[in-house]
Structure 1
Amino acid sequence: MPMEPGMSEHDPADAAGEQDAKPDGKEGIVADAKNVADAKNVAVDTLKGAKTAGLAGAAVGATKGLLKSRRGRQLLAAIVVACLLVGAMQLFLMMSLVGGARSGLEAQQQGVSAQQVLDAGVDSADLEVIMDSAKERGVPWHMLAAVYAVQHASGAQKGAYGFAQTAFDDGLSETDSEDLEASSDWVAAAMRNALEDQDGYNAKADIGTGGELDPDGNLTFPDQEVSDALIREPYGAAIASLPLTGASETWAGQIVELAIRWRFGLAGTIPGSCPTTGAPPLPDNLSFTITAEQMANATTIVNTGKSLAIPEQGQVIALMAALAESTLVNLDHGDRDSLGLFQQRPSTGWGTPEQIMDPVLSSKAFYGLADHTTNPGLVDISGWESMPPGEAAQAVQRSAVPDGYDRWEPDARLLVATINGTAPPPGTTKHYDIGPVKPATQYLADFLGSMFNIETIYGWRESDPYPDHPSGSAADFMVFSDRAKGDALAQYAMEHAAELKIKYILWYQRSWNAGDPVGQWSPMEDRGGDTANHKDHVHITITDESTPVTDPVVDVGPVQPLAQHAADVIGPMFDVTEYVGYVATDYFVEHPGGVAIDFVVGTDSAKGDQIAQYAMEHAAELRIAYVVWKGRYWHLDDTIGQWKALTGGIDAHTHDQSVHITSTENTVATSCGPSTPTTGDWVNPLPVGSYTLTSPFGWRIHPITGIRTFHAGQDMGTGASTPPIVAAAAGTVLVAGDCGCGYGNLTTIDVGGGLVMYYGHQSAISVTVGQVVNAGDPIGTVGTTGASTGNHLHFELRQDGEPVDPIPILAAHGVTL
């Protein structure tokens, strides 16, 4: 066999190896003896070590034994080398596995995050482009995706990201602005450049720094300060500086919060993502087809009644009167000198023509709580609450057709239920004729009857051993022999007793009262047959009123009932001794309107934190719209604990020493952020030529008080005329009604990007809270309500809560006042 190059036929190394491997003769015997001795020494030392220190001692003993012989030392060296090799291989394998696992987890996390973005409405192909651009420019893709999603949801018009003019001034071309890849790269580069100018920016910092998911999957920030310093502050400032439509600190803060939630694989609220399909549908179950104008007037009548603490029955009577007299149209004519919604006559003491044509004032006059007339109204009629509604309306109106009101009662009740938020959505339920019951009872019948396919429901009846049916407070859902259906209906009613305003339930010879544990029935006495024992029907009685009615516990002035209730619940619970409730004049409208409470805590920040946390957790039941505390605000739609930065230049309103809450009848969760402009350019709020600019934005001598004050808007005087007012930009109505403050009849519209438009002193309002309007949609009529010296529109803009001059902002949108 030929040898390999460099080897001799008898290589010494090979020979030595062979001899060691196969000793023979004397040398072999000696070698074996030495091996036995060495092994004995190792065994003895191992056992000694084991007796004194267990496994670790055994290892040390074995090592000592090996060191006592040459071959032992050779063997030990070989063992060490082998261990090092094995350890290195294990370490390499472990690192590979860890790296693979980490990559797998990161990929999984990326996938979860991406799915949240897709669920938010971003197209998958668009997201791929955004991810690539973010990676290329070295910015977190979650941030760039959040910017895109917010701008896309807002309907921003210029380019893929809603670019402001300054972007084009900086070199962005119209073509690139429309191309998603080019515009994403441009925005990502602008974001990175802006980030590098921020002191706290660290390119290697994960945007989830400082946060973690608790065992229940809730996002918490044990290291809030670190998150603020490394993520929120630098990214917020950088994104706020982007040349995009609507960019502001508040807008940027919302984007950062959204991106962080996506980073942890959580869903987030996109500002501007509410459906923008126009005004909500009008009721479709009336005896006539109602118009937007009629619905707006009905809303004014009902809301005026609520502001005067008129119960729902009184609101129904008022609508019956207005339906009969004017079909809810604010008529400028009538029999002889009759005018307005209620056809009131100046010649018989109901007020001047101007006062009668004002829907709010005429409603107050009907209710009997107006300052401009001494004519008796509803509350002046003795026993009106127990009268048939038509008779009560006639007692106020003294009509020549006294029975003309009765036919309008079903429509009036449905309208009251719709306006007060107790009516089911149009088209989703059928209407049951159960007589002249309370609106909440009618809603209950329509809602549960449709849900459980009930054929027969009994409501009002003139005589009964118990007062529930004659008072219109009860409904009987006939299930006959279908025990399972009755059980299901009763179970649902118990689970939703609060929202359905249920007082108690009777079913299958058992009773359940609101406040009892769900399913905890109490037995009833045997009354005889199946009907008497409620075995063929589920009986439900509603509460008397939807608003808590109790004597005030704390003194916060003449505030609205829900605000009083919130003060009474929260204040004593946290030993609050100082409050700010009703204030006659204030920078904002909430305190004069009686819907806000400030819980003063001074320097006790811990107490303030507790109050704010409780208010957020119980916002739905206390009808709390938002909370302000330590320069931050929280809205009912937000995740509990998810604060946003409060902007604006008024120190007293950062609430560093008091927790501010606003609680109103119109508080509802929308499950999405405020709507923003979707279609159309901005327009003039008044017809061109119908007004003159009478008082500009800025400091002035107040025309009523004579004191030098800051005028937060632009007054547009119209002389003797009262032209229609239209929305200057698209958005969502936040306030619509008499604010109880200097603005008089006020409409505010959130148009997105932190900008809210105020329309003050209106004579009539034709929109409702929550309605989405487009630019040019009618919202009301010029008037002189509130602190006013004549017909004019007070037009005001507030950016992140701070008044700004309307003229240059409108000019930037092509509108000249």
Structure 2
Amino acid sequence: MLRVMKKLLWIGLSIIVILTGIPVAALLVIATFSTQAAAGCLTYHHATTTETGLLTHAEMVDRLLQLRLGSGRPTITKEQAENAITLADVTRDLGAPRRGLEIALATAIQESQLVNLESGDRDSLGLFQQRPSQGWGTSAQITDPVLATRAFYGLADHTNNTGLLDINNWQNLPLTQAAQAVQRSGYPSAYARWESIAQDMTDILGPDLAASTNLTNGESRIDADCAASASVTVASFNILGAGHTDGKSGSGLGGGENPSMPTWDVRLPKAMRLVESAGVTIAGLQEVHPPQSKTLSTRYADRWGMFPTNRLQNKVIWDRTAWMMTAARLVDIPYFHGFDTPMPLVQLTSTTTGQVLWVWSIHNPIGARKYRVEALQRELATMTDLKATGQPVVIVGDFNDSNDAQQASHCILTPTLTNAFGGASRPCRPRRAGPGSTTSTGTTSPGPPHASTDQPWPTRSATTPGHRHDPGRRQALPTPALDHSNQARDCGAGPTTNGRVAYPVPAGYIDSDRHNWHATGSHWSSWHTGTDFSAPCGTPAYAAHAGAVEIDTTQVWAGTWLVKVTTGPSSLTTWYAHMQALEVSRGQKVTPGQRIGQVGARGNAEGCHLHFEVHLENGSIYGSDNVDPSTWLAQHATGLRTG
């Protein structure tokens, strides 16, 4: 059985909760603390009732996912749907009418395809491709979907730029004129093409919005008197991956089978009932295998938000009625065998008080201690960077270090964080014995049913410094926090990632991945050897990693060129096919994210797309080293998205 160490640790608070050295099958740790927000905070919410004709959040997402932005385009992605819902929420909270949402959606589709881009033309960023150099705010403010939408409307404290509600008679202008009055684009007529889809989306998102309004500049329906002190209950829960109880030996990814435990479909509902009955509104989850992830993102999506929604096993979930995600990152931490694995770091904002809180869900590797030490060093560096924001931070997770003595997390992390159950770094003292310890400010409760966890249930209280979601004072996540994964290390990773891996298409098309590796059909002589990213012809194609360029012009199926980026014989090599233009030459050295060509439809291709393959040992097209590129990218590339 696994020996795990479960923790909740705060920075910018007075308490950490730590549980250590306990053999468990699945373990839940819960802590409760209070938040104290200043007056004048902003309030946003997701609709959860149909009293005014609104769909539930899950129904909105489901309906949006059936739409396409245009003929021949893929259906809308979950990311695009969530961003559209955010636009609708802000529109509603500002009291803007239906026409405002239509214009905002059409503008965001034209500018970013409803993807919160981290790059663009010159210094353009975010959903609306606003520019710091043009007075739209800092990079962090512009890439905050809520603040960017408020800025588009002209009701954001962080910018004085003209917004939609500042435009005289804006409701009666043609959509493209109204959008252009705000955006000042070099393509002023481009917004018109999206009016129809924007109207369809508004039918789903805004049936309660007024047809028109007398709202004028500077007015808002946000209640400025929302000072509050609220209790926040955070959980850390290793829910035991589905592969540990599926009856298939070796599918548990390091932990093996656990025949004494029920299958995941029995355990997950009990786990969620346990979390909900405890009043938890935020949780970090570990070992979320694909069937569990799919169930969380469907059956529980009406109440619980989740990041990320892909195959990564660590998640942060939050009660949508209490919190909304206002920023998120994936930070690489060494996991099994030292390979970097992205771990979710999420900024949540209270829907009632505006309180801002960062939550990081991590899972450190079992096995070689050196990898855990490296993981802790990166975690401490990132948490220290976050401290500069002045916002409270919680790190939750499975640390796997019960036998690491002076190199355990309660020693390495406590120079910056406080340990609720004791422990300190100078000199390093272990935490107080057992999760059943009773302290002056926290107690434990009896453990829940064995089907969910076989451990007692520590609780702990703390107070956060007041820090509301104030657009005039909000600070960016410092850049160094995203760079600690690139520090020199001895993790035995070999050339697989070469330190950094990028998606081969711009961020706006990452979710167009068809996940069709190993597909069969009349198009292929055996099976499909890569995955296809749908993107318009002419879209940039990027090198996924560093290496040397090889160009093969004999592969008719690939089009004019089959481009390979290789790290050497018997080493990682990636393939790129169907491109309509080439921007590199044979033997050229490229870096991750460097442009190598343009998406096309040449060779054996139907429609514009980039065919992408991963060969771990530079093998042949059907070689045993040909691996699922979608999985490989999810494991290695999520933290570095090209723009």
Q: Same fold (TM over 0.5)?
A: no
TM-score (norm 1): 0.25
Question: Per chain length, whose mean CA-contact separation is higher, i.e. which structure has more relative contact order (CA < 8 Å, sep 6+)?
Answer: 2
Higher helix content, 1 or 2: 1
TM-score (norm 2): 0.31
Higher strand content, 1 or 2: 2
